[in-house]
Structure 1
């Protein structure tokens, strides 16, 4: 790989997508140890980015202004100041093409799936994992540029302060012992496991004496309230909407087991290499599921019986897809995983 001196990575959103791109910045740093690496991102997702030695600087992109030519001039001035010789557009959309166009980079590339005209700005690089997991698709950009990729690693920010803070909050709220971290919501409603299913399943969990910490964004507050109110248990701690993104990471990191559907925090758990249970129905786990652990046995997926996992989005418009994952099936998986976790 060429000894690039100034590299721009464009991956602005969403949470899971940004996390999927972290192994690529790790590989770039391994191959270009002296380069200055800059990441262009929406501010909301920047807390999951690591600092040095992996990323030297962050450029915050205002998505609301990307259609403004005035903003284009601002971006051009900011980005040209870095004198980029390489730009990697891992978003592959019109909005990221705007950033790449204004980057001033001598070489502009992206992974092979460049959409919305982004291929007019950056050259898509197709490697051996063209139809594989999205993490490998991103890593193929490094491979195609002559780089060596010998590991899938997720460089993450330091969260020691957040760990101490969350630990103190949970202790003051009365939590004693281990807990499950559960995120009941998802960005797309069609990907969510029904609240009634969560209520029934978590009733069995808390009856066994296990603590449950409910996590998620402000949008998940109604689900957290419905679940915690239904259970009315001293073993349930509803933290939906009550954590920052890094505090969410800390709460997941300290849990015994993480459970959710296909949503951003799932990919935090994967990056932390936590034991987890992921519920997939309308989306394809072969493309975007948990990936990159030292031992793939830590991944436990349950696919809706009607899902066609070979398709990119097999049942994206089926509102009943996730309800076909039964509480009985979830409990069976939970018991199996807990036996393993306790070893």
Structure 2
């Protein structure tokens, strides 16, 4: 790989997608230890990005202003001041193509799925993992450029402070023992496991003596209230009550994480937390939890009616997730907890 001096990574959203790009950041730093690496991102997803030695600077992109000439002029000047010799557009959309164009980088590349005309700005690089998991597709950009990829690693920011904060918050509510972390929501409602299923499952969990912490964004607040209201004691609802790093800390300190296909699932994966992933309308072969060969911490449950393929989700199958039974998740949970407890 060339001895690049100034590198721009463009991956602005969403939460899961940003996390999927972290192994590429890790590989770039390993191959270019002296380079200045800058990441362009939407500010609300920046909390999962690490600082030095992996990232030297972060540039926040306001997607609502990308059509403003004055904003683009300022962005272009800001980016040109870095004198980028390499730009990696891992978003592959029109909005990221604008940022790549503004970068002034001598070499502009992306992974092979360059959409919405982004291929007119950055050259898509297709490697041997062209049809594999998206993490491998991103890593192919490093491989094609001559870099080595020896492992799947997720560099993350320190969350020690947030772990202490969450421990005190849990203690104040009476949660001092082990717990599992669950997220009932998802960006698409079709990907969500039904709330009555969550309620019944968590009844069994708490009856066994394990605590349960419900996590999620403010959009998941009603779901958390319904589950915690209908279930019994031992359930602690923190939906809409944590920052992104506090959510990371709560997941990190849990015994086990469970959710459908949603951003926090990929946080759990990046933390290499023992997890159970529920998939129906989307295909885990492309965007599910992934850690390379060393990913025995992942327990996958796929709807028996699911016929989703890596690039064709079943967005019009609202009954897909209801085919995953409480008994199925419970039996998987028992096996996973036995593994965690040794």
Q: Provide TM-score, normalisation by structure 2.
A: 0.98
Is 1:57 aligned to 2:92, yes or no? Answer: no
Find the counterpart in structure 2 of residue 307 from structure 1: 306
Q: How does 1:151-230 map to 2 (within 5 A)?
A: 151-230=151-230
Structure 1: runs of 5 or more not aligned: none
CA drift of 1:317 comes to: 1.3
CA drift of 1:68 comes to: 1.5
Q: How does 1:1-12 map to 2 (within 5 A)?
A: 1-12=1-12
Find the counterpart in structure 1 of residue 142 from structure 2: 142
CA drift of 1:298 comes to: 1.1
Q: How does 1:1-343 map to 2 (within 5 A)?
A: 1-233=1-233, 235-292=234-291, 295-343=294-342
Tell me how far apart the structure 2 counterparts of residues 246 and 39 of structure 1 sit (CA, whole Å). Answer: 18
**Alpha-carbon spacing, 1:277–1:14, altered in 2? closer, same or farther (3 Å):** same
Tell me how far apart the structure 1 counterparts of residues 40 and 163 of structure 2 sit (CA, whole Å). Answer: 27
CA drift of 1:309 comes to: 4.5
- What SS is found at the alignment partner of 2:296? helix
Superposed CA RMSD in Å reads 0.9
- What SS is found at the alignment partner of 2:103? coil
Count of residue pairs brought into register by the alignment: 342
CA drift of 1:208 comes to: 1.2
Q: Provide TM-score, normalisation by structure 1.
A: 0.98
CA contact (8 A) 1:179 1:210 kept: yes
- Runs (4+) off by over 3 Å: none
Tell me how far apart the structure 1 counterparts of residues 60 and 16 of structure 2 sit (CA, whole Å). Answer: 18
Structure 2: runs of 5 or more not aligned: none
CA contact (8 A) 2:181 2:258 kept: yes
CA drift of 1:177 comes to: 0.8
Higher deviation after alignment, 202-211 or 95-104: 202-211
CA contact (8 A) 1:286 1:309 kept: no
Tell me how far apart the structure 1 counterparts of residues 267 and 146 of structure 2 sit (CA, whole Å). Answer: 29
- What SS is found at the alignment partner of 1:74? helix
